[in-house]
Structures are given as structure tokens and as C-alpha cells.
Amino acid sequence: MHIHILGVCGTFMGGIALLARAAGHRVTGCDANVYPPMSTQLQAEGIDLIEGYQPSQTGLAADVYVVGNAISRGNPLLEEILDRGLPYVSGPQWLAENVLQGKWVLAVAGTHGKTTTTSILAWLLDRAGLAPGFLVGGVPLDFGVSARLSDSPFFVIEADEYDTAFCDKRSKFVHYRPRTAILNNLEFDHADIFADLGAIETQFHHLVRTIPRGGRIIANGAQASVDRVIERGLWSEIERFGATNGWQVSEPEADGACAFSYDGEVLGRAALPLSGAHNRLNALAAVAAARHAGVAPRQAIESLATFGGIKRRLELRGTVRGVAVFDDFAHHPTAIAATLEGMRQQAGSRRILALLEPRSNTMKLGVMKSQLPESLAQADRVWCYAGNLGWDANEALAPIAGKTRVLDRIGDIVAEVAGEARAGDQVVVMSNGGFGGIHEKLLAALSG
């Protein structure tokens, strides 16, 4: 079967492409914004990419068009598909019908930490010999790809609450029907499609309704929003983490290791390769979910120390003249704060220079701009890219104006940072997009 994917360079749709190719289908795709790591990953797998959405792509005569949720009415290729009555389906529906059917699905949901937790969980199952299939919204360094198809009965998936497609406004995760579900955290996000936090909680409630009686929810016990979701109805088993009972993880001890426990019993200790309290909770939730799939907690905890991380999650892109440049996907104030707090634990007294692109739909709308100054508290210097913003970044960042520069051109940010950075500085680039290739430009400027 020939599958043509619209929006193929998004992390989720790129994963769909890899799974379809592994299943033996001929796969092609198109996108308007092609950038690594997804573009290079797809090309390495032999998936042909087309730049743009020309109506002429219907001439490929695909058997089905898989439409990503970034594709809206008015898209010229989508309109041609609709006008001609060609077969189409959303990515989540295609996945559910062609990959997940009959699998023990382990789904990781939450506003923050989905990619990291999903990657850790897949790694824990893999190290235990379960060889799970998976789809992650990033590229785990341990696997080198964002998605994998296997003969294993287990499939680990990042369960996004964003809408499914132009024709299906339910959250993606309602299609997955997991047996094990992590509810990691829940905050307001995606202001372009959700009116308020209550609307997101309703979607999480819909997810909970799909979990069978023998299934299990691993729920963040320290979040009122998650509690409200559970209070609306629970039909499966539940274990909580991060609260005063259930699953817990300690602060790093003198040797850098953390103790993992359940109901007061220490099950093992491990030094985590990822810094920050948020990543300790991510690891804890993954250990709890792995136990439901049959992985002994002690074995899972021992495997944590070997986890290699994920591209674009505080990924070191290079060090020049003693200046380290990191790439991070953080784009929500809570995620920005967590990234910087984790960096501060590692950096100590060394300076942290933060380069921020408010690129997500929520950030572009300015819904959370008032939270940005506090979220950037741990940074010593801040550069904010204000290109194409619909709100005044200087005004929003006025509380930290003394350490902040707001600029409209990426080249100006590169020049200023390269001129100011000194040996020992930690530079972190935070964006959910390519940020105009600023990482490579900055490393080149530092070299020059």
C-alpha cells in the first residue's frame, strides 16, 4: 500500500511514517517546514519528502492520505483530496487501526515530560528483554529513531492531548486505548484549541474512560488537576507517585544516587543521567509503569543509570572555547523553569545564558507571557527572539529587564551572545522549532 503523509516532518507524523515503512508500506510525505532531526531521520530511512502542499501531489495516486493535525482547511493539497473524494485518515486513527490493535499499549500523558518519560519507559522495557514497539515525540539517543515496530506485545506511546486532525477535534490519545497509562501532570496549554484547564481535564477524563478494569493508571499524586480527572470516574487500578504515599523518589544523595520506594519500601537506588526534580518524577513514573508490564522494579531502577537521553532535551550540541551550547524543547513557562533549575544544579556558579523563541501557538498568543520572567529566574542572561510575536516581549519581560535583551533578528542574537559568552558559560537554546538554525550559527560564531 502507498501511504502519503501530510505534515510528515512533525515528530508524531514522522513516527507514523517510520512505522508504516517498517510494516512494509511504500511511504512518501510532504511538509512546509523541513528541519532536523526529523527530516534527516526520514531521509535516512528512504522516505521521499516533498517541500510544500501542491495539489499536484494527488498525482502520486496514494492508496490513502494520512493527514497530520497541523493541516487545516484551506491547505491546497487537503482541499484537492476533499474535492476529489480521495481516501484520507488522521494519524492517530491510522496508528490505532494498523499498529496498536491487539497490543498492550503503555501511554504517557501530561503537559510536561511526555517525551522523556516515554523514552525512559521504552528503554526500561527494552533492557528487560521485552523489545517494545514505540512512538516518541522526539529521538531517544538509545534507539536513534523516534518510532519502532516490533513483534513484541508491548507498545509504548507518547500520548498527546493536542487535537487529532482537522476532521476530529478529540485529543490524539483517545484513539490509543492503553492498558497502562501515566498521567504525569496537567496544566493549561494549547490555548489555540482549549478554552481553559477544565477543557483539557475533560479530554483526560475521556482517556481514563478507555482504560480497562485490569488496566492501571500511574497518576501524579501531587497535582489537584489530576485528582479532579480521577474524581470524575475511575474504572481501573490506580497507583500514585510523587505524593506522601505510593511511589516516591528521594533527592540525590551524597554519591549522586536517588532512592526509589513504594509504600515506604526502598526498591533500589540509581544515579540518574538527567538532572532536576522533574526528571526524577519522570523516571519514577516510568519505573511504576514498567512494573505493570512485568519488569521488576529493582531491574528497572538499575537500567535508569544507562538511559542515554533524547535529542533536543537539554542535548549538548557542541562546546567551543569552553562555551557549551545546549538545545532544549522547553516552550511552556513550567518547562522553561524546570530546564533552567536542572541546569543550575549541574552548572553551580557558572553562568547560564538562555536564548528563548516563544514559538508554540500558546506562546504566540501571549497567554502565558506574564509567567515568563519567573520561569527565567535561574538564567544569568536572557535573549528573547521577538520576530513574528503578536505581543510586546519587552513589556512582558520588564521585571527582568536588567538581564534581558529582546531582539527581532536571529543574527543579532548570535552576534551578541558570541561576543559576550566566556569559558565556562552554559548556553541553552529553548524552542519547539528550528529557531532558524541558531545552534549551528552560534557555534560557528564562537569558533570564528
Q: Give pLDDT tens digits for 194-203.
A: 778 899 999 9
Q: Specify the pLDDT at position 21.
A: 95
pLDDT in tens, 260-277: 999 999 999 999 888 788
Q: Specify the pLDDT at position 35.
A: 67
Assign domain 315-447 to a CATH class.
alpha beta
Sheet holding 48-51, edge to edge: 48-51, 26-31, 2-6, 64-67, 88-90
Q: Give pTM, 2 decimals.
A: 0.80
3-state secondary structure of 322: coil
- pLDDT beyond 70 at 37: no
- pLDDT beyond 80 at 285: yes
Residue ranges, CATH 3.90.190.20, the chain: 315-447
Beta bridge partners of 237: 216
DSSP 57-115: GGGG--SEEEE-TT--TT-HHHHHHHHTT--EEEHHHHHIIIIITTSEEEEEE-SSSHH
Name the grid cell of 359. Answer: 514559538
CATH topology of domain 102-304: UDP-N-acetylmuramoyl-L-alanine:D-glutamate ligase (3.40.1190)
Q: Specify the pLDDT at position 424.
A: 93
- pLDDT beyond 70 at 163: yes
**Cβ-based burial of 348 (10 A; exposed 0-12, middle 13-18, buried ≥19):** exposed
3-state secondary structure of 167: coil
What does pLDDT average to over the chain? 91
Q: Specify the pLDDT at position 58.
A: 97
The phi and psi torsions of 162 (rounded to 5 degrees) equal -65, 160
Q: Specify the pLDDT at position 312.
A: 74
- pLDDT beyond 70 at 191: no
Q: Other CB atoms closer than 10 Å to residue 93's CB: what's the count?
A: 17
% of the chain at pLDDT higher than 90: 69
Cβ contact 383:417 at 8 Å = yes
pLDDT in tens, 338-367: 889 888 988 888 999 999 998 876 676 777
Cite the DSSP H helix spans in 173-223: 197-209
Q: What is the band of 94 on the pLDDT scale with cuts at 50, 70, 90?
A: very high
- pLDDT beyond 80 at 128: yes
Cβ contact 274:342 at 8 Å = yes
Question: Across residues 321-339, what is the average pLDDT?
Answer: 86
Question: Across residues 211-229, what is the average pLDDT?
Answer: 95
Question: Across residues 283-312, what is the average pLDDT?
Answer: 93
- pLDDT beyond 80 at 33: no
CA geometry: angle 430, 431, 432, nearest 5 deg: 140
- pLDDT beyond 90 at 259: yes
Q: Decide which of 339 and 293 is more confident.
A: 293
- pLDDT beyond 90 at 369: no
pLDDT in tens, 396-410: 999 999 999 999 999
Residue ranges, CATH 3.40.50.720, the chain: 2-91
CATH topology of domain 2-91: Rossmann fold (3.40.50)
Q: Specify the pLDDT at position 358.
A: 86
- pLDDT beyond 80 at 331: no
CA distance 397 to 346: 26
Q: Is the peptide bond before 37 cis (omega within 30 degrees of 0)?
A: yes
Q: What is the band of 137 on the pLDDT scale with cuts at 50, 70, 90?
A: confident
pLDDT in tens, 67-90: 999 999 999 999 999 999 999 999
Residue 39: C-alpha distances to residues 43, 49, 355 (Å): 6, 8, 23
